[in-house]
A and B are shown apart, each in its own frame.
Chain A
Amino acid sequence: MTSLAESRGVGENPRRRGVRVGTLRASGAARGAGPGVAVGWIGLVPFGVYALLFLAIPAVLAIASGFFTVDGAFTLANFDTFADPTTQKDIIGSVGLSAVTAVVGAIAGAIICYALLSMRPDGWIRTIVDSASSVFAQFGGVMLAFAFIATMGNTGLIGVILNGLFGDNTYTSPLYTVPGLVPVYLFFQIPLMVLTFMPAMEALKPAWGEAVATLGGTRRTYWWRVGIPVLAPAFLGCTILLFANSFSSFATAAALISQGGLISLDIFRASTSETVIGHANEAGSLALAMVVVMVVLMSAYGALQRRAAKWGNR
């Protein structure tokens, strides 16, 4: 019996276009026209309180629980779980699944954005792709799982066709393994990339292309020397968002693979187990591991970003 409320955590709202850091930062001139510093701080208060109540405090409480026994005594025993080969395998599984779906999703999404760039911004194709992406980026949990069971399951559409062609039982659905989650996750990863990366693509000014052409550059020179360097920080930022989105995904995976294989499923198992009693707070130490992975990733991104900024100033 599983709790199937979808909790994709980070990156829940693809409309939050905070990822276009770097490319679309307000210019220095515009800053002077803004409100005073004090007013700015007051304006930040509601968000600050919200983030504190619904992000910071729960995160600190969850991680802190990893340092205590169920009865409330301080312990480091919850970290023994990292010596367990199953936990190690599941961390690798989660990181691998997230990396693959983030990179593939980011590249596929960027290609779609590139294709959309040649369409009229207010044309019907752009409108349809934009609204479809907002819907599919949020499609997850049991419904998504069942949609894939109906197409890719052992008795799903593909299975029925293949078994019909090559005889019974030739098709074994890949869905119920960790690698089998890749196509399922891409179903929401690619639209999320389209939503978050499109604004950065749109910020490419046609004038830059014209300037390159005037100076005798080709289309290829333009992309190599202008387009890609300008878009790189946003692209990496979006990729990290996709990674986090997939890393924290739970409900879809829980509906498809019941025997574990991902760290989010391990957290669920530890915190709700009916059979292994007294290990609930291992969920806290596993959560800490997830945070550590994200911190490492964000630091790498930060370093890369600073490097990119240096190139930009040159």
Chain B
Amino acid sequence: MKTRLLVGTAVLAVAALALTACAGTASGSTSGGSIKTLTLAEAQKATSADDFGGMAGLVAAANKEGHLNVITLPPSWANYGQIIQGFEKKYPGIKINSENPDGSSADEVAAAKSQKGQSTAPDVFDIGTAVMNQNLDLLAPYKVQSWKDIPDDFKAADGTWWYDYTGLMSIGYDTKKFPKGIKKLDDLLGSDFKNAVAIKGDPTQANEALSAVAMAALQSGGSADDIQPGIDFFQKLKQAGNFLGTLPTQATVASGETPVVIQWSFNNVGWGPAAGSAGNPNWKTVVLPGTGFGSYYNQAINTDAPNPAAARLWEEYLYTPQVQNLFLAAGAYPAQLAAMKKAGTVDTSVLAKVGDAPSDFVQLSADQAAKASTLLTAKWAAAIG
């Protein structure tokens, strides 16, 4: 009985091998004989499209997987709605599952850990630096085809992570309500801004809210090393009765409940006229003069990605000039912007509209971010309480 089973298995295995070999040669011969079929474990370790035998091989492998799990990508955030649609149009064989669009970077890591080994685990991350640095072991090294176009200080040398885009901290406001506009940060302390100014959550939880405090610090004589003046600014704002402790959304901006929102430029742009009927047609985005504040988010691939080829294809797709221009159109400056300007692949009409990236803006180093969060933990609640 046992031997017969063994023989049977062996026959099956040989047949399977022969069949896959046939399939391999067949598809190989149609596209130049270079496509490689990788196992799941091999694909999860692929460090470039070449490991699949080039882009054609990567596309074939991704199509075979048929799915891609992305996480925490709100459609109105940096044009991700259009970017996801564009991918599904370009690769109709791959269906994108967009999980927990409004979650945080910490939620991405939690999902990768808790769903490890399951088909629903996230394939790719768009992740903030502070959370990422604590979880580098979750990231699989990979280099997109245009790797050389990403500046050296925008990427890990081994390919574990690389910058995708940055916004600048900006003030969005309703021009109908504030026709005089906003020229400097202290304008917001005026009595006409009563109950008007909101930020994107609690700075001890959300990076975007922390960035608003950091921007206020830079505008008020503070620095990346010392954001206390930013906390002081929000305390004054609160005392003036101008700070609005609710969470702004596209809906509250459209309804007028949050007439001033300090957030990433790509979100202010995305909630304004660019959003069409869902946006507020009178929404204006200003980046205050002086040193700007930005923060690059990072792209990375999950080591245990259930769809490793689709994950890698998604990254290749994000770093095509078309998609980099889509980021740019939302006011999110993409990592390859400098190279694209040089190569002439940047959409100049879009660039003219959103304005060139500032040559210098501050972003927090890991140490500065840790220092800022310690300070906020100690001081923030009391300042706005």
Contacts and interface: CB of A to CB of B under 8 A. Distances in A.
B130 A274 contact: yes
A3 B210 CA distance: 18
A176 B103 contact: no
Given A1-B103, A153-B257, A175 B246 contact: yes
B256 A155 contact: yes
A137 interface: no
Interface stretch (B198-206, B278-286, B349-357): B198-206
A269 B376 CA distance: 13
B102 A1 contact: yes
Interface in A244-282: 254-260, 268-269, 271-278, 280
A1 B72 contact: yes
A254 B248 CA distance: 11
A2 B106 contact: no
Nearest to A172: B195
A275 B373 contact: yes
Interface string B72-106: 10100000000000000000000000001011111
B232 interface: no
A154 interface: yes
B194 A1 contact: no
Nearest to A173: B195
B255 A1 contact: no
B55 interface: no
Contacts of A172: 194-195, 241
Contact of A155 (B206, B257, B381): B257
A269 B74 contact: no
A277 B131 contact: yes
B134 interface: yes
Interface string B123-149: 000001011001000000000000000
B103 A3 contact: yes
Interface string B154-196: 0000000000000000000000000000000000000100110
A226 interface: no
Interface in A143-176: 146, 149-150, 153-156, 169, 172-173, 175-176
B329 to A, nearest CB: 21
B247 interface: yes
Contact of B377 (A150, A276, A280): A276
B384 interface: yes
Contacts of A154: 195, 244, 257
B130 A259 contact: no
A280 B114 CA distance: 14
B174 to A, nearest CB: 10
Given A150-B255, A273-B106, A2 B134 contact: no
B251 interface: yes
A70 to B, nearest CB: 8
A280 B203 CA distance: 15
Interface string A1-43: 1111000000000000000000000000000000000000000
Given A173-B195, A176-B244, A274 B105 contact: yes
A177 interface: yes
Contacts of A305: none
Contacts of A146: 251
Given A153-B257, A177-B245, A259-B202, A272 B103 contact: yes
B128 to A, nearest CB: 5
Q: Which of A149, A269, A276 has the most CB of B within 10 A?
A: A276
B51 interface: no
Nearest to B251: A146
B241 A269 contact: no
A138 interface: no
Q: Which of A86, A257, A277 has the most CB of B within 10 A?
A: A277
Interface string B366-377: 000110110011
Contacts of B239: none
Interface string B98-123: 00101111110010000000000000
Contact of A277 (B134, B191, B384): B134
Contacts of B256: 155
A279 to B, nearest CB: 9
A255 B245 CA distance: 10
A275 B369 contact: yes
Contacts of B210: 274-275
A258 B247 contact: yes
B195 A169 contact: yes
A2 B201 contact: yes
B247 A255 contact: yes
A149 B252 contact: yes
B207 interface: yes
Q: Which of B110, B204, B241, B384 has the most CB of A within 10 A?
A: B204
B204 A275 contact: yes
Given A273-B104, A274-B104, A274-B105, A258 B201 contact: yes
Nearest to A90: B381
B103 A258 contact: no
Nearest to B198: A258
B246 A3 contact: no
Nearest to B364: A275
Contacts of B200: 1, 258
B385 to A, nearest CB: 8
Contacts of A254: 247
Contacts of A277: 130-131, 134, 370, 373
A154 to B, nearest CB: 5
A276 B209 CA distance: 12
User: What 4 pairs between A and B have smallest CB-CB spacing?
Assistant: A258-B247, A86-B381, A269-B205, A274-B207
12 contacts: A3-B103, A4-B102, A86-B385, A154-B244, A156-B257, A173-B195, A255-B246, A258-B198, A269-B202, A271-B106, A272-B104, A273-B205
Given A149-B257, A272-B107, 13 more contacts: A2-B102, A4-B102, A154-B195, A155-B257, A169-B191, A176-B245, A258-B199, A258-B209, A260-B202, A269-B202, A273-B205, A274-B128, A276-B377
